[in-house]
C-alpha cells in the first residue's frame, strides 16, 4: 500500500469521516448538558480547535448560532464551505485556541476530543482556559473532554476504528509510542488506511500530546477560578452516568461553568 507522510489535518475529507462518524452521541450530549448545567438559555456556541466543523454544522442546523477557530487552514476552509452550503455564515476563523478574543461572548463552548492536549505548555493551557472564560457569558458552559494519564494501572496504548461513507472507507489506528511524564509529553503515531474504488493508500502522521494526571489538571483549573467544575462524565456521553476521578481514571468530560 502506498504510504503518504503528512499532517492528517491537511486531509479534512478523510479526517472528517473518521472523527465525524459518531457525531450524534456528542450532539445529543452537548444539548442535554446545555439544558441541565447552564444557568442561562444556550443559543450561541463557540468551538476552539473546531477542525472540520463536524459538530458545528449539526448544531447550526439545530438552530444555534455557531463559530469556531482552528490553526489549520484546510480544516477551516472545509468547515466554512460546509457551513455556507447549509446556508450559514462562514463563521470559522484561522486562529490559536490559546490566544483569541470573541467580539461578543457566547452561551457555551466545547472541545470534546482531546484537542486541548495539543497545547504544548502549562502557559498555553492556562491562556486557553482564560480565553474561554472571557468568551463565556455568566452561567455559560465550557464542555471539555480529554484523556487523563492514570497513576495506577496500565493506560490505554492504542485505539482503532473504521468509518465508511459511500465508496470511501477508512480504517484508522492510533498508537502511543512513548510517554515522558517528566516532560509531560506523549508521542503518538496515527494512520488512515484509505480505500476508494480506484486507489488504496495510507496516510501517516505523528503528534505530541501534553499529559495530565488528575492532580495536574486540578492544579491547572485552580488558576482559572472563573470556571467551576459542576459535573464529570466519561466518553460514553450518558447523562445518567456521572463519574468521580480516581487514580485509574482516563476519559473525562469536564463540565465547567462560568461564575
Same domain, 139 and 224: yes
Q: Where do runs of H (alpha helix) occur along the chain? A: 12-20, 23-37, 56-61, 73-85, 122-135, 214-222
For the stretch 218-256, what's the b/e string if a residue is b when 16 or more beta carbons lie within 10 angstroms of its beta carbon?
eeebeebeebeeebebebebeeeeeeebeeebbebbbbb
Same domain, 180 and 70: no
Predicted local distance difference test score (pLDDT) of residue 22: 83
Residue 71 within any structural domain of the chain: yes
Same domain, 89 and 169: no
Q: Give the Å distances, CA to CA, from 193 to 129, 157, 188, 198.
A: 35, 19, 17, 14
Q: What is the CATH number of the domain that holds 139?
A: 3.40.50.150
Q: How many CA atoms lie within 13 A of 123 on its CB side?
A: 0
Same domain, 135 and 200: no
Share of the chain above pLDDT 90, in %: 97
Same domain, 99 and 223: yes
Q: Does 231 have pLDDT greater than 90?
A: yes
Task: Give how far the C-alpha of residue 74 lies from the chain's centroid of Cα atoms, to the nearest Å.
Answer: 17
* Contacting residues for 70 by C-beta, under 8 A, at least 6 apart: 49, 50, 51, 76, 79, 92, 94, 95, 97
For 172, the domain range is: 151-210
Same domain, 200 and 239: no
Strand partners, 136: 106
How many domains is the chain partitioned into structurally?
A: 2
Residue 1 within any structural domain of the chain: no
Predicted local distance difference test score (pLDDT) of residue 21: 83
How far, in Å, CA of 256 to CA of 224, rounded?
11
User: What is the average per-residue pLDDT within 120-147?
Assistant: 98
Q: What is the CATH number of the domain that holds 181?
A: 2.20.25.110
- Phi, psi of 244, rounded to the nearest 5 degrees: -120, 140
User: What is the average per-residue pLDDT within 208-221?
Assistant: 98
How far, in Å, CA of 65 to CA of 43, rounded?
6
Same domain, 82 and 114: yes
Same domain, 172 and 67: no
DSSP-assigned letters across all residues of 224-258: -TTEEEEEEE-TT--TT------TT--EEEEEEEE
Residue 2 within any structural domain of the chain: no
pLDDT tens, 60-116? 999 999 999 999 999 999 999 999 999 999 999 999 999 999 999 999 999 999 999
Amino acid at each position: 500500500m502506498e504510504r503518504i507522510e503528512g499532517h492528517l489535518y491537511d486531509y479534512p475529507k478523510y479526517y472528517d469521516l473518521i472523527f465525524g462518524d459518531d457525531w450524534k452521541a456528542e450532539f445529543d450530549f452537548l444539548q442535554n448538558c446545555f439544558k441541565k448545567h447552564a444557568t442561562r438559555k444556550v443559543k450561541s456556541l463557540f468551538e476552539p480547535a473546531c477542525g472540520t466543523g463536524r459538530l458545528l454544522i449539526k448544531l447550526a442546523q439545530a438552530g444555534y448560532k455557531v463559530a469556531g477557530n482552528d490553526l489549520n487552514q484546510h480544516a477551516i476552509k472545509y468547515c466554512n464551505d460546509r457551513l455556507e452550503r447549509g446556508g450559514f455564515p462562514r463563521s470559522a476563523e484561522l486562529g490559536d485556541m490559546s490566544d483569541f478574543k470573541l467580539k461578543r461572548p457566547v452561551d457555551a463552548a466545547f472541545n470534546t476530543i482531546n484537542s486541548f492536549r495539543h497545547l504544548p505548555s502549562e502557559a498555553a493551557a492556562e491562556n486557553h482556559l482564560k480565553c474561554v472564560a472571557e468568551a463565556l457569558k455568566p452561567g455559560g458552559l465550557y464542555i471539555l473532554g480529554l484523556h487523563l494519564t492514570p497513576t495506577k494501572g496500565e493506560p490505554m496504548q492504542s485505539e482503532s476504528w473504521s468509518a465508511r461513507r459511500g465508496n470511501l472507507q477508512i480504517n484508522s489506528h492510533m498508537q502511543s509510542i512513548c510517554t515522558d511524564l517528566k516532560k509531560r509529553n506523549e508521542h503518538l503515531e496515527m494512520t488512515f488506511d484509505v480505500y476508494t474504488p480506484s486507489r488504496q493508500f495510507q496516510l501517516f502522521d505523528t503528534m505530541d500530546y501534553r499529559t495530565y494526571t488528575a492532580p495536574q489538571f486540578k492544579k491547572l483549573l485552580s488558576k482559572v477560578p472563573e470556571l467551576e467544575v459542576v459535573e464529570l462524565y466519561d466518553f460514553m456521553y450518558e447523562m445518567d452516568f456521572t463519574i468521580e476521578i480516581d487514580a485509574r481514571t482516563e476519559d473525562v468530560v469536564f463540565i465547567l461553568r462560568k461564575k
